Amino acid sequence: MADALVRELLDAPLVAVLATFDLDRGIHAVPVWFACDDDHVVLATGSRSRKVRNLERSSGATLVLHDSRPGFEVCGASLSGRVEIVRQPEARALVDRVHRRYVEETAEADPEVAGFLDSDDVALRFRSESALTWDERGSAASARLRALGGAKALVPTSPRG
């Protein structure tokens, strides 16, 4: 967690991917919001979620943080470690910390928004034991591709509505 790139990614409001082991030893990987808490990464989720069931059996997990842009403008970290499941009432402050990173506090008062956020009643406290990082942003290939204008744009999906 002390690695400069890992800190940069943890400080950015990105969406991470948490991978846990399913009962059949398959991998369950899902996007998650996160926030830092000292030497842990905290995630907010529902107590009935598949990831909680998986972590009740095996605390091992991988958290992938990435900032992917067009071409070779990519960097990221794959953190492997252990997860502690934190339940109420201790979980509330941790869950709120995660929510405040992604949702304006004024929006939380809206009944639809509040109802959705209330489904997160458990915090997952991830402690990294190892990290694998990659950073191609400063590579010669990235500079050349940028100069050529040869990178195709990444296009996000549109919100449904």
Closest to 18 in 3D by CA, of 56, 87, 65 = 65
The Cα–Cα gap between 142 and 135 comes to 10
pLDDT tens, position by position, 57-95: 999 999 999 998 889 999 999 999 999 999 999 999 999
The Cα–Cα gap between 137 and 148 comes to 15
Percentage of the chain modeled with pLDDT above 90: 86
Closest to 45 in 3D by CA, of 18, 80, 6, 9 = 18
Closest to 8 in 3D by CA, of 71, 82, 93, 67 = 67
- Which pTM value belongs to this model? 0.92
Strand ranges (DSSP E) for the chain? 16-21, 27-32, 34-37, 40-45, 60-68, 74-86, 122-135
Give the dihedral of Cα atoms 70, 76, 82, 88; nearest 10 deg. Answer: -60
Residue type, 111: P
Q: Where are the domains of the chain?
A: 4-148
Q: What is the spatial order of strands in the sheet that 34-37 belongs to?
A: 27-32, 16-21, 60-68, 74-86, 122-135, 40-45, 34-37
pLDDT tens, position by position, 15-41: 999 999 998 889 999 999 999 988 999
Top-level class of domain 4-148:
mainly beta
Q: What band does 142 get if pLDDT is binned at 50, 70 and 90?
A: very high
Maximum Cα–Cα distance across the chain: 55
Closest to 30 in 3D by CA, of 64, 5, 77, 79 = 64
Q: What angle do CA 118, 156, 141 make, to 5 degrees?
A: 125
